[in-house]
Amino acid sequence: AQSVTQPDIHITVSEGASLELRCNYSYGATPYLFWYVQSPGQGLQLLLKYFSGDTLVQGIKGFEAEFKRSQSSFNLRKPSVHWSDAAEYFCAVGPYNQGGKLIFGQGTELSVKP
């Protein structure tokens, strides 16, 4: 079955600390992987995406993610978190070049302590 798992429902980090949000997927075909961020009451903003090539992907706002096929993971990282990064983060997987039918993880809520 196709699925995306984000094991951490809620994470709290101190401002300036590093961050890693976990994402594991189960997908039959070659996956097209995404990380989105959602602020309260807002739509989705794409942070980064991966289909092929370099397994370390750079995104916006200083985020990066590493695709590890052997672990079926696509973890999101940021070396130094800012208070404005507090939001809900979603990992998603879908088919490449076949439209945007995505399967989303449960989301991880990030809180940032001053």
Partner 1 sequence: GAVVSQHPSRVICKSGTSVKIECRSLDFQATTMFWYRQFPKQSLMLMATSNEGSKATYEQGVEKDKFLINHASLTLSTLTVTSAHPEDSSFYICSAGGDRRAGNTIYFGEGSWLTVV
Would you tell me which residues interact with partner 1 (CB under 8 A)?
32, 34, 36, 41-44, 46, 49, 51, 90, 94-107
Q: How many CB atoms lie within 10 A of CB 76?
A: 24
Q: Could you tell me how many residues make up the chain?
A: 114
**Smallest separation, CB 9 to partner 1 (Å):** 9
Q: Please identify, using beta-carbon distances, which residue of 22 and 49 lies nearer to partner 1.
A: 49
* Residue 50 identity: Y
Q: Please identify, using beta-carbon distances, which residue of 51 and 83 lies nearer to partner 1.
A: 51
End-to-end CA distance of the chain: 41
Task: Write phi, then psi, for 80 (nearest 5 degrees).
Answer: -145, 115
**Smallest separation, CB 3 to partner 1 (Å):** 11
Q: How far is CA 86 from CA 10, 69, 108, in A?
A: 11, 28, 10
**Smallest separation, CB 94 to partner 1 (Å):** 7
Q: Please identify, using beta-carbon distances, which residue of 3 and 80 lies nearer to partner 1.
A: 3
